[in-house]
């Protein structure tokens, strides 16, 4: 059993998973500041759930991803309710520099498809694991991944 009890345990989790959480939040929200807010929220939730026990490091990672995805959903709902104008995000981000043209095409996919593609190709999760993380049926995830690949292929061939 893995439990985050000490400050050292918490620090280890932050060091090991903050980049992954940021990348997941960024690919969901496409905004650096919002992604950073989500990262903070995820770690605050981890602090509040100190009594939560994880079977191993993979269980902890899956829990962090689930909380990140849910927090991104909550954040998008909140933003849709606001009547404010958002500042335009600068396109020169680390993620775009790292992945180039493909990243731009992935951004053109619907949000749920982007999440599935990201978890499968960037985080290395299987379809079954993604289904569990997202609370979806494995067949649904598999179909969405296949459709997303087809869309990406078409977009890349057009360019």
pLDDT in tens, 45-78: 998 888 888 989 999 999 999 999 999 998 888 7
% of the chain exceeding 70 in pLDDT: 85
State if pTM tops 0.75: no
Provide the 3-class DSSP secondary structure of residue 83. coil
Q: What is the per-residue pLDDT for 98?
A: 44
Q: Where are the beta strands (DSSP E) in the chain?
A: 2-3, 53-54
For residues 68 and 114, the answer to whether their CB atoms sit within 8 Å is no
Please measure the distance between the N-terminal and C-terminal CA atoms of the chain and give it in whole angstroms. 49
The b/e string for 42-55 (b: 16+ C-beta within 10 A; e otherwise) is: bbebbeeeeeeebe
Provide the 3-class DSSP secondary structure of residue 47. helix
Give the chain's mean pLDDT. Answer: 83
């Amino acid at each position: 059993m893995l439990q985050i009890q000490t400050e050292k345990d918490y620090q280890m989790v932050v060091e090991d998973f903050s980049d992954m959480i940021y990348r997941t939040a960024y690919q969901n929200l496409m905004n650096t500041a919002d992604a950073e807010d989500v990262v903070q929220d995820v770690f605050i939730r981890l602090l509040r759930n100190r009594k939560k026990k994880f079977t191993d490091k993979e269980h902890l990672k899956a829990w962090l991803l689930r909380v990140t995805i849910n927090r991104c959903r909550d954040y998008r709902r909140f933003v849709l309710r606001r009547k404010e104008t958002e500042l335009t995000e600068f396109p020169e981000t680390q993620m775009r520099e790292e992945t180039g043209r493909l990243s731009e095409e992935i951004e053109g996919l619907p949000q749920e498809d982007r999440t599935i593609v990201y978890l499968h190709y960037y985080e290395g999760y299987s379809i079954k694991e993604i289904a569990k993380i997202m609370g979806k049926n494995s067949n649904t995830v598999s179909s969405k991944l296949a459709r997303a690949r087809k869309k990406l292929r078409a977009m890349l061939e057009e360019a």
